[in-house]
């Protein structure tokens, strides 16, 4: 913690010492807080730094998951992280549906669960969305790279709008998808070994990272 802060998904702290290298006392103007034990995502140590009259050069920001443009706009890469949740969940559910067999005509083999249209209607849209999220993420990363290279205000505005919109949509969509995928696996979706419970707990916070999704959508309408 002395030389580099613990990483969090929303990290945007600075690289450098926060405590005295000899006494470990917190340096003047810096306050360190720990978020404590959470519902999920406890593999990530979550905390906060508060600076009082401390100037941090832009080059010292640890901005892997979030950045602040020169005009003060905050840009998040959370859609990139959430598409992983969507892809993981639908992969588990689809593989289960292809292997699980249930019911069939007398004296004939049982039918794969995926062959039922009702099951396809639940999972196929989510599978397609996982691909859509992947390509949306790639497009956003390209825009973000262009913004960092050119400092073009128009590109910065586009990245701000797109990242805010994708964050709100993908996190809400993925939250609903977790429940559907879990239910699609029947009783086998409930044991912890199949990860649905852990993924739900870890994902839930993404709906309120950087603000409530409803507030973000309202803000998006104002700026778009």
Q: Are 88 and 46 contained in the same domain?
A: no
Q: Are 119 and 39 contained in the same domain?
A: no
Domain containing residue 216: CATH number = 1.20.140.10
Compute CA distances 33 → 6, 30, 45, 56, 113, whole Å.
12, 10, 11, 19, 49
Q: Are 99 and 154 contained in the same domain?
A: yes
The answer to whether residue 31 is catalytic is no
Q: How many domains does the chain have?
A: 2
Query: How does pLDDT run across 132-184, given as a tens digit for each residue?
Result: 988 988 898 888 888 888 888 888 888 888 888 888 888 888 888 888 988 88
Contact in structure between 171 and 9 (CB atoms under 8 Å): no
- Please identify which of the residues 31, 153, 183, 210 carries the catalytic annotation: 210
Q: Are 84 and 30 contained in the same domain?
A: no
Q: Where are the beta strands (DSSP E) in the chain?
A: 30-34, 47-51, 66-68, 74-76
Q: Are 71 and 58 contained in the same domain?
A: no
How confident is the model at residue 105, as a pLDDT?
77
Q: Are 95 and 2 contained in the same domain?
A: no
How confident is the model at residue 4, as a pLDDT?
32
* pTM tops 0.85, yes or no: no
Compute CA distances 166 → 58, 136, 151, 213, whole Å.
25, 8, 22, 10
Q: Are 32 and 97 contained in the same domain?
A: no
Query: How does pLDDT run across 54-67, given as a tens digit for each residue?
Result: 887 777 776 665 66
Q: Are 55 and 85 contained in the same domain?
A: no
Range of the domain at 211: 67-223
| DSSP annotation of 61 | B
pLDDT per residue, tens digit, the chain (224 aa), is: 233 333 334 444 445 677 878 888 888 888 888 877 776 667 677 777 788 888 877 777 766 656 676 776 666 555 555 556 667 778 888 888 888 888 877 777 888 888 999 999 999 999 999 889 889 888 988 888 888 888 888 888 888 888 888 888 888 888 888 889 888 888 888 888 777 888 888 888 888 876 777 877 777 777 66
Burial 172-207 (b: 16+ CB within 10 A, else e): bebbebbeebbebbeeebeeeebebbebbebbbbbb
Burial 58-77 (b: 16+ CB within 10 A, else e): eeebbbebbbebeeebebbb
| DSSP annotation of 26 | B
Cα–Cα dist 175/172, whole Å: 5
Cα–Cα dist 223/73, whole Å: 12
């Amino acid at each position: 913690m002395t030389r580099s802060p613990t990483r969090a998904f929303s990290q945007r702290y600075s690289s450098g010492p926060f405590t005295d290298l000899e006494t470990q006392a917190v340096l003047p103007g810096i306050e360190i807080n720990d978020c404590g034990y959470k519902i999920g995502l406890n593999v990530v140590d979550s905390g906060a730094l508060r600076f009082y009259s401390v100037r941090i050069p832009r080059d010292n920001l640890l901005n892997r998951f979030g950045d602040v443009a020169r005009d003060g706009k905050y840009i998040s890469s959370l859609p990139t992280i959430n598409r992983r949740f969507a892809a993981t969940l639908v992969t588990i559910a689809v593989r289960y549906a292809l292997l699980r067999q249930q019911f069939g005509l007398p004296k004939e083999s049982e039918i794969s669960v995926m062959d039922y249209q009702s099951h396809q209607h639940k999972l196929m849209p989510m599978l397609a969305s996982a691909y859509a999220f992947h390509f949306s993420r790639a497009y956003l990363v390209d825009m973000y790279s262009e913004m960092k290279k050119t400092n073009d205000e128009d590109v910065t505005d586009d990245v701000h709008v797109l990242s805010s919109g994708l964050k709100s949509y993908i996190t809400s969509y993925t939250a609903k998808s977790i429940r559907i995928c879990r239910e699609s696996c029947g009783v086998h979706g409930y044991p912890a070994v199949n990860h649905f419970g852990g993924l739900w707990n870890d994902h839930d916070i993404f709906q309120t990272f950087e603000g409530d999704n409803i507030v973000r959508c309202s803000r998006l309408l104002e700026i778009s």
